[in-house]
Amino acid sequence: MIRLNDVSKVYDMGEIKTEALKGVDLEVRNGEFVCVLGPSGSGKSTMLNVISGLDTPTSGKIEVDGMTISNYSSKELTKFRRDYLSFIFQSYNLFQTLTVGENIELAAKISENPLELDDVLAKIGILEQKDKFPSQLSGGEQQRVSIARAVIKNPKIMFCDEPTGALDESTAKEVLGVLEMLNKEYKTTMIVISHNPNIGEMSDRIVKLNSGRIVEIKVNETKKSAKEIAWT
């Protein structure tokens, strides 16, 4: 369970203070697929950063599985991220001089309970690319590698910040299908940030942000699969 209680984040830049989050309350259940939507500047990435311990809230309380991470030191947050979380970003951040398998094995080495490399590659559909280099792959295949790198840690929670932002519709739906499968197969809690409201149709709940506040939380009574969602 992830729980935010009256969480605010203010960026202080001398005379200018920016309120990125304003008294946010939210609960995310274990194994839930949540999509966070909102325009640029709404606070989506800030909320991801404070939940994941990449940043600290100015005020309020954040709990993850009973741990009050909003009180953690920098060292404690680093260990928390290593042991509990994985991240997928719009940019792939792959090491170009390493093969697909080597890129993914780097993440496995920092995990206490990693999954089997070939099993992950097979599930994500890139087993045949194991010995290739990133430059030999398409954009969609490189994003699958970044997903495999996140998955092999066997995380409890996966944060995805605009994971399909650089992909065309067909490739994006393939990548979203992988996230959908991982949520079902591994029961990984999935928090996806996006500008695209259609992605929300495949989630359990949609959290809408605007100007640093949650303005709506919608439960999906009938979820669509990744391949069923509209794109335009």
pLDDT at 162: 85
112: exposed, middle or buried (Cβ count in 10 Å: 0-12, 13-18, 19+): exposed
Task: Give the strands of the sheet with 189-194, arranged side by side.
Answer: 85-89, 157-161, 189-194, 33-37, 205-210, 213-219
Dump pLDDT digits (tens) for 47-92.
999 999 999 999 999 999 999 999 999 999 999 999 889 998 878 8
pLDDT at 232: 63
pLDDT at 36: 96
pLDDT at 210: 95
Dump pLDDT digits (tens) for 162-181.
888 777 888 888 888 888 88
What secondary structure does DSSP assign to the chain, as a single string? -EEEEEEEEEEEETTEEEEEEEEEEEEE-TT-EEEEE--TTSSHHHHHHHHHTSS--SEEEEEETTEEGGG--HHHHHHHHHHHEEEEESS----TTS-HHHHHHHHHTT-SSPPPHHHHHHHHT-GGGTTS-GGGS-HHHHHHHHHHHHHTT--SEEEEESTTTTS-HHHHHHHHHHHHHHHHHH--EEEEEES-GGGGGGSSEEEEEETTEEEEEEE-SSPPPGGGS---
Q: Quick one: tokens of 124?
A: 């994500």
For residue 28, the tally of other CB atoms under 10 A from its CB is 22
pLDDT for residue 1 is more than 80: yes
Dump pLDDT digits (tens) for 9-52.
999 887 888 999 999 999 999 999 999 999 988 999 999 999 99
The structural domains of the chain, ordered by start, are 2-93+156-228 (3.40.50.300)
pLDDT at 30: 93
pTM for the full predicted model: 0.88
